[in-house]
Amino acid sequence: MKKFKRIVRILPLDQRRFKVIYIFSLLIIFGLFGRLVKLQVFSSSDLQKKARLIQSSRTTSFKKRRSIVDRNNRLIAYDKTLYKLWAHPKYFNFPGDSNKRVRSIEEVVKKLSPIVDIKEEILMEKFNNNKNGIKLLDKISEEKAEKIKNLKISGLDLFKYSQRYYPQGEIYSNLIGFVNDDNKGSAGLELHLENIINVINKSNLIKRGGDGTPLPDNSAPGDFIPDYKNIGLTIDSKLQKASFNALTKQVKKWKAKKGFAIVMDVNNGQILSLVTVPSYDPNKFWQYDAELFKGWYSQDLFEPGSTFKPINLALALEEKVIQKDGVVEDIGKINVGGWTLSNWDKKGNGYIDYPKVLQVSSNVGMVKIMQNLDPTIYWDWLKNLGINKNLETDLFESTAGQLKRKDLFVNQSIEPAVTSFGKGFSISPLKLIQLHAALANGGFEVTPHVTSTFKERFNKNPKKQFFSHEVSRTVLEWMESVVDKGSGSGVKIEGYRIAGKTGTSQKALNGSYTSKKVCSFVAILPVNDPKYAVLVVVDEPSKSYAYGSTVAVPVAKEIIESLIVIEKIPPKIKDHGMIVKKP
């Protein structure tokens, strides 16, 4: 059977249809071209930004402050990670629920209550029928935050933050200070070293592939590791606590306005303890008067009184206006420029040598000694010692001492006379211990400091020498006689050579001296190998018989006893005029 081929008749293309297809194709082509121009020309920058966001992500270190530790790595201040819990009731949804289902506040509270250890009724009150976002809880620990996360409840959001804690409380507060509610330093080292304590947040860009896989880039190995180096202090927490307890007890006993005690290494200026009373709890700083936040040991000034007498004797020896074996007559009072100056007890001591001048704290003896020194040279010495200059230190910004104008000092004989026994000018307690440190270490200036990196940042200049080694040694031995035979005998400790000087200074108000006192005592030990200076200042003790010997010396003794144990200072004994180690 034959197969017949089917013949299809080709009809001419409909011109109208052809035009429609042609025009439609052109429109598509022009549309695509226009889209291409828009993407490549007009929207290119926006698209590049979107691409970068998809292909890369920026990481930022968690904002924190560096921990502060003592020289033995004991924590003084640190940041604790906490969480805030926000609730959004209109989005409450449990794992496995459909997207449209919204759980009730009661259902969420029932799961949340045992984790946060708060009764359901109390949690319900916090919502107060509020369907919008509310801050439900604060200060949630990491452990509880992890349990809340594991609930996987939509509508519960945890916000991570850090809060400053001070585990040693009030014994460090006047030194360390505190941070406010915005985590910014507001007092003490927290404020003064804000730029160093704050962690530098590094922000890094991670490039990713289409599937989100991180791609190799030029980041350095440590770029994504947060910088959490500690701030190390030279303070010893055991000595700090012992000093604080001793000072607190004495300030309460004498009903004093405030007190200060410091222990410093005389060779390098490192501070081993620094305490003030009254103090405050930096964890609850808002409960205290702002006056307590002040670092008065470097910002307040006082007339040092008799504790400055050893410095003056060093000046007289340096200028060779007195000899080591000289004597001075003390009849109990002296007239200078129409003013009558007298000893603290109004009594004379006859002819006395210079160690005895310190032992009995003779004002008249000091006036006569310093009258041998030209007032112009005397004033230049005081300026050279930095009496009227700020201390460059890592503590609170210091207040410069007050020194009379040179023309007044030179032309009015009463000025150098009262300066001879520590009156007529004022310095900070921190400046006073700096000067005594120079007496102890052979005459060299050191700067009091508490951070272990202080030398690298501040102490770039060579040491300035105030006194010769011979003069320093002579004055130190004279000060030792004050402890052996004079007003500082209360600090004597068997087997240890200690030098010291007491001070009792009246406070001036509106140009006149009042009955209010500042009692002080400075000690240096051991005399055979000077290493430590201890200064105690008690302001306005309100009981009778308040003197440096009765108020400040007992505090210094307790501190020195603790210092000997903590620093393992070996005892020495005198044997036939020679210094030997005690077996």
CA angle, 453 then 242 then 290, to 5° = 70
- For the four alpha carbons of 350, 356, 357 and 360, in that order, the dihedral sign comes to negative
Q: What is the mean pLDDT of the chain?
A: 86
Residue 295, classified by CB atoms within 10 Å of its CB into exposed (0-12), middle (13-18) or buried (19+), is buried
Arithmetic mean of pLDDT, 3-29: 73
Please give the Cα distance from 14 to 426 (Å, whole number): 113
pLDDT of residue 573: 57
Nearest of 336, 272, 303, 277 to residue 72 by alpha carbon:
272
Per-residue pLDDT tens digits for 331-340: 999 999 899 9
- Is a pLDDT exceeding 70 seen at residue 218? no
Q: Does the structure show a pLDDT above 80 at 411?
A: yes
* pLDDT for the residue 578: 41
Q: Distance between CA atoms of 99 and 388, rounded to whole angstroms?
A: 74
Tokens 């112009």 appear where?
376
d(CA 520, CA 422): 12
Could you write out the DSSP letters of every residue in 155-187? TEEEEEEEEEE-TTGGGSHHHH--B-TTS-B-S
| Residue 210: pLDDT over 90 | no
* Cβ-contact 496, 572 below 8 angstroms: yes
Mean pLDDT of 233-248: 97
**Res. 81 pLDDT band, cuts 50 70 90:** confident
Q: Comparing 28-37, 260-269, 455-464, which segment has the lowest mean pLDDT?
A: 455-464
pLDDT at 37 over 60: yes
CA atoms of 203 and 226, how far apart (whole Å): 10
Residue of higher predicted confidence among 253 and 145: 253
Label residue 303 by pLDDT band (50, 70, 90). very high
Which residues in the chain are classed under CATH 3.40.710.10? 237-581
Residues of the chain with pLDDT > 70, as a percent, come to 85
Q: Pairing relation of β-strands 68-69 and 231-232?
A: parallel
Q: How far is CA 116 from CA 84, 96, 123, 143, 158, in A?
A: 12, 24, 10, 10, 13
In the structure, what pLDDT confidence band is assigned to residue 206 with cuts at 50, 70 and 90? low
The answer to whether residues 369 and 357 touch, using CB atoms and an 8 Å cutoff, is: yes
Q: Higher model confidence: residue 231 or residue 19?
A: 231
Active-site pick, 173, 243, 306, 520: 306
Residues of the chain with CATH 3.90.1310.10: 80-164
In the structure, what pLDDT confidence band is assigned to residue 54 with cuts at 50, 70 and 90?
low
Q: Give the end-to-end CA distance of the chain in Å, rounded to a whole number.
A: 138
Residue 246: what pLDDT?
97
Does residue 576 register a pLDDT over 70?
A: no
452 — pLDDT class (breaks 50, 70, 90): confident
Say if residue 582's pLDDT is above 50. no
With a cut of 70, say whether residue 34 has pLDDT above it: yes
pTM of the model: 0.80
Most confident of 33-42, 194-203, 306-315: 306-315
Asked whether the predicted pLDDT for residue 207 surpasses 80, the reply is no
C-alpha separations of 527 from 40, 41, 394, 497, 579 in Å: 84, 84, 28, 5, 11
Give the pLDDT confidence score for residue 13 in this predicted structure: 65
pLDDT value, residue 8: 64
Segment 234-246 mean pLDDT = 97
CATH code for the domain defined by 237-581: 3.40.710.10
Percentage with pLDDT > 90 across the chain: 55
In this prediction, residue 577 carries a pLDDT of: 42
* 468 is known as an active-site residue: no
3.40.50.300, 3.90.1310.10, 3.30.450.80, 3.40.50.970: which CATH number matches 80-164? 3.90.1310.10
